Structure 1
Amino acid sequence: MSVLDLARPEIRAMQPYSSARMEASDGQIWLNANESSWLPEGDAGVGCNRYPEPQPSALIDTLAELYGVHREQLLVGRGSDEAIDLLVRAFCRAGQDAILIQPPTFGMYSVCARIQNAHVVEVALKSDFTLDVDALLAAVTPAVKLVFICTPNNPTGQIVPRADIERLAQTLSGRALLIVDEAYIEFSDADSAIELIDRHENLAVLRTLSKAWALAGARIGSLLASAEVIALLRRIMAPYPLPLPCVAAALSALSTVGQQSAREHLAVIREQRDVMQKALVRLAGVREVLPSHANFVAVRFDDPGAAYQRLLAAGIVVRDVRRYPNLDDALRITIGTPQENARVLDVLKASALQEARA
């Protein structure tokens, strides 16, 4: 059985849109795409008057080397969100098929499913926010085509052991595609699931340049999977998903100098995460700081609403995650610069002192 047997038959059979850039990439005078032959003001030779490559060769090669995959196993798009949407549209028939998620987790999995009118099966994480593999597998029905695992998990920060990921991939073979979202893995010491792709054709991995590579504004994300899955998704993605300036920004960030800078910032974030965890847990009004392997910490407060408003009044915006299951007393705080982190602690300390005097 091929993993593509899990995909929608009409997607497998469809004739993809053939863009002008896909049909002809060579030549000296391009008159095939109804583009302007003049550069726009301020372009400085970047070439924004021309459509970009659908999958920029230089970026594909650089990312393939970074992640240790063949270029045919990699799809680049507008952040991880686009890859999630493509997967749902390719594998889930509206009103019939389903995805499986483990809340609390990243909200875009269910959003993309509901836009497609696919069902969402939920298997809650354990009370310590670790994955219940047995419960997950017991919930898989023939309708479930995609199983999403987020590690480190957003918004809780815990990791899924690779042995659990491999067990899931093996058990779900021929039944569902397992998607491992590794948006935050650079902040942890966990092994990537990318190494399992060649052994499990039903395993896919999401990666992004938004977090560790500081390119959230450029919107560059990758899906790593079997060449067959990548080829299928290329049929349904937008003709020109990546703007040229974004590709240039990504290549700069992934250069030798850029990679060194990223490693230095990662070291600071890891150090500051430890500082914040130890300092926050000592503050009055803080119930618990969840263990985190990401670039954030989830913090339980006696009065999370008041803590949120006091931080906001000081110009500090954190994430209110009280709507998530089992996090109704929590805020998620991203690890910033040492100065930003110190400011957060100062505001929370001052708030605690004010409450003690009241």
Structure 2
Amino acid sequence: MTSPSFPLGLVREDLRDFAGYSSARTSHSGAPARIWLNANEAAAPNRADPQGRNRRYPSPQPAALVRALAALYGADPAGLVVGRGSDEAIDLLVRTLCRPGGDGVVVTSPTFGMYAVSARLHGVPVHDVPQSDLGRTWRLDPERIVEEVRRTGSRIVFLASPGNPTGATVEPATLLALTDTLADQAVVVVDEAYQEFGVGGSLVGRVAAHPTLAVLRTLSKAHGLAGARVGTVLTHPELAAVLRRVQAPYPMPEPVVSLALAALEPVAQEETRHRVATTVRERARLAGLLAEHPGVRAVYDSRANFVLARCQDAGTVDDVLTDLSGRGIVVRDMRHLPGLEDALRVTVGTPSELDEVAGALAAGPAFTTTER
């Protein structure tokens, strides 16, 4: 059966035929190259790199890494674009689909701040459809999301499952129904940065049947490579081809590629699975520690590698931050986000780190700030 096509009318009109930058690494054709003199690279290695592994520009989309990531996620390599973390993928999608000063993106607060940051940096309006706080979890309002997309002419809906900072998941059927309902107008982007810590499967396998669905994945969380900045967008091959043309040249440094490939070797992946299992176990412990603290009034169920908690009031947050930071323990103050004026987010650390958190909480009010 023929897969459905991506509606290229959703791409910015001025980018539909955009060829992008023709890099020295991709413009060669003909006989196999022996001597590369087309990129103005240094003729000899730097002493810091005596083997010359980094003397030449890397491939824009390193084939070995693309194959390894496609195998990891069960994806079509033609629909995979790898870049500098999920942040670059978010930026590429906004640039590709939204006209500067026009169109729009829809977000569902509380959610990851980079969706709105990327949109605003490109002059794209941001429209919020807040989630409902159900006490221990959060829920989207699909009908209102559809209404807001229609009302504003938005081109992207950013949804995260599991969510950050909520830790809540969204039913795949809900996400796919939204994608299909909005297929004539918008791309639905599902951020699965924390998917390894959750329950249920990824939506990557549904991309072929839903051409206006894009899924974000990263090696920053479960794989422990936040400092390497390796993120992936998985989508329809026709949209992926446009994203590659819009992407800046040489996004993947050679040392990063080597590190990522090593992290995807079978032994390393087995260690990742063990690390995830430990994190899930300690997540339950952390949630219990927070729930027992007198300054905490609510702890949310989490399917990520963190726990979101509400304190009695904003002043209690200050007390907890002060006490924990005084012991050198740094967590995330979430009061800057709409609807979270009394909230903290705590990443699941190692068992020994959580021992220290337990000691600090038991000694008195406890908890200053960690990034996504």
When normalised by structure 2's length, the TM-score is 0.92
1:200 aligns with 2:210: yes
Alignment of 1:59-98 (within 5 A): 59-98=65-104
Residue 262 (structure 1) aligns with: 272
Superposition map of 1:17-56 within 5 A: 17-24=21-28, 26-43=32-49, 45=51, 47-56=53-62
SS of the aligned residue for 1:332 comes to strand
Q: Quick one: which amino acid aligns to residue 63 of structure 2?
A: S
Query: Does the Cα contact within 8 Å between 2:153 and 2:185 map onto a contact in 1?
Result: no
Structure 1 CA distance for aligned equivalents of residues 365 and 239 of structure 2: 53
1:126 counterpart = 2:132? yes
Aligned mates of 2:286, 2:205 — CA distance in 1: 32
Question: Is 1:186 matched with 2:196?
Answer: yes
320-329 or 291-300, which moves further after superposition? 320-329
Aligned equivalents of 2:270 and 2:50: distance in 1? 27
Separation of aligned partners in 1, 2:349 and 2:356: 10
Per the alignment, residue 15 of structure 2 pairs with 11
Counterpart Cα distance in 1 of 2:365 and 2:255: 46
Aligned twin of 2:108: 102
Alpha-carbon distance in structure 2 between the residues aligned to 1:247 and 1:181? 22
Q: Is the 8 A contact 1:3 1:177 kept in 2?
A: no
Q: C-alpha distance in 1, partners of 2:97/2:301? A: 34
| Alpha-carbon distance in structure 1 between the residues aligned to 2:335 and 2:51 | 48
Distance 2:121 2:303 in 1: 31
Task: Check the 8 A contact 2:320/2:365 in 1, yes or no.
Answer: no
The whole-number CA distance in structure 1 between the counterparts of 2:293 and 2:276 is 26
Separation (CA, whole Å) in 2 of partners of 1:157 and 1:117? 29
Kept in 1, the 8 Å contact 2:287–2:307? The answer is yes
Which stretches in structure 2 are left out of the alignment for 5+ residues? 367-372
Q: Which residue of 1 aligns with 2:338?
A: 325
- Is the 8 Å Cα contact of residues 44 and 52 (structure 2) preserved in structure 1? no
**Aligned-residue offset at 1:2:** 4.2
Partner of 1:356: none
- Does 1:136 pair with 2:142? no
CA contact 1:91–1:145 (8 Å) conserved in 2: yes
- Offset of 1:332 from its aligned partner? 0.5
Gaps of 5+ in 1: 354-358
Contact 2:6–2:236 (Cα < 8 Å) also in 1: no
Q: 2:327 matched to which residue of 1? A: 314
CA–CA separation in structure 1 for the residues paired with 2:204 and 2:52: 33
User: 1 CA distance for matches of 2:47 and 2:270?
Assistant: 33
What SS class does the counterpart of residue 206 from structure 1 fall into? strand
Q: Which amino acid aligns with 1:110?
A: A
* 1:130 CA displacement: 1.3
What is the alpha-carbon root mean square deviation over aligned residues?
1.4
Determine the structure 1 residue equivalent to 2:182: 172
Q: Report whether the alignment pairs 1:305 with 2:318.
A: yes
One-letter code aligned to 1:312: S
Question: Cα–Cα, structure 1 residues 258 and 44, in superposed 2: closer, same or farther, change >3 Å?
Answer: farther
Deviations 1:322-345 (A, max 9, x none): 111221111110001001111112
Q: Please tell me the residue identity of whatever aligns with 1:309.
A: T
Shift of residue 3 of structure 1?
A: 2.1
| Equivalent residue pairs, number | 353
Conserved in 2, the CA contact under 8 Å of 1:106 and 1:154? yes
Which residue identity lines up with residue 349 of structure 1 in the other structure?
A: A
Residue range with higher mean Cα deviation, 273-282 or 246-255: 273-282
Q: Is the 8 A contact 2:197 2:303 kept in 1?
A: yes
- Say which is worse superposed, 48-57 or 340-349, in terms of deviation: 340-349
**Which 4+ residue blocks in structure 1 deviate beyond 3 angstroms?**
none
For 2:264 and 2:328, locate their aligned partners in 1 and report how far apart those are by CA, in whole Å.
Answer: 32
SS in 1 for 2:158: strand
Q: Using the alignment, how far apart are the partners of 1:62 and 1:204 within structure 2?
A: 19
Deviation of 1:190 after TM superposition, in Å, equals 2.3
Q: Identity of paired residues, percent? A: 44
